[in-house]
Amino acid sequence: MTGSRKGDEGRRIAFLGTGLMGAPMARRLLGAGFAVTVWNRDPGKAEALAGDGAVRAETPDDAVSGADVVITMLTNAEAVKDVLFDRGAADAMTPGTTVIDMSSIAPHFAHDHSARLAERGVDHVDAPVSGGVVGAEAGTLAIMAGGDKDVIDGLADIFAPMGRVTRVGPSGAGQLAKLANQQIVAVTIGAVAEAMMLIEAGGGSQAAFRDAIRGGFAESRILELHGKRMVERQFTPGGSSSNQLKDLNAAMETANALSLSLPLTAAVHAEFSEFVANGNGEKDHSGLLLHLEEKNARPGEKQ
């Protein structure tokens, strides 16, 4: 390991996954005085936190050794499974450890991971987040937790530097809430993008339109933040389209398993599928505007 610990003498945290979201979340914990050991597949992303007081571990099992709480913030369910079980992190945890999975994965994976950890005497909470990089940096994330109430209540001091936690139900309920959140985000991005196109096609100003409807019934964080991105044509990702599609895939799979028909979600899922398939997975999800503009381009017109 490299770096030096700082902070209180309380619980030790291992943070696995210090990418776009994980790094600022780990910094919030360090700033609150926790001793945090970090690991990332790309060592450079973990090393960048050493200056904030983190200890960098070479491997996941090294990171979790001696930790009281393990936080995972990884790309998808396969990555979580790989780090926890294939790479041996779960086997390196002592009974009584708590895993907080803050990644966004399908609920059935959360159930499976929880059961496998329980066999080792390890508690599990699925606690995905919403709020993007801005929320991660500010410590204002919406944290949707699924799991045992007493376990979640006992983690209040750890959740507090990162945002506002709400227990939404038993194991898997946090992931279900995140999928529902992502449905709302995706459908609203689609609605704002189509409205922007309608205004521009009719000769209006997108910027003035956005200002005009602020504070009305159409007001939302999507209109505020992603509407601004659309007006300014700035699509460097806070949240990538590939991750948005991943969550929509999981939402549709879950809906099918529950015998639900979700026509609006299905429609925006199809559009994001095309957008990502056309090589735009690393654009911000507000970049769906580009895809819809392309579909409406007149022959010979270039976007």
Residues designated catalytic: 178
Cα three-residue angle 15-21-25, rounded to 5 degrees: 50
Cα three-residue angle 262-267-272, rounded to 5 degrees: 120
Residues ≥6 apart with Cβ < 8 Å to 136: 21, 24, 25, 28, 129, 162
Which one, of 254, 115, 241, lies nearest residue 176 by Cα?
Answer: 254
Q: In the chain, count H helices and then E strands.
A: 15, 9
Measured in degrees and rounded to the nearest 5, phi and psi for residue 133 equal: -60, -40
Give the integer Cα–Cα distance in Å for 103 and 17. 9
Q: CB-hemisphere CA count at 13 Å for 29?
A: 29
Give the integer Cα–Cα distance in Å for 197 and 148. 46
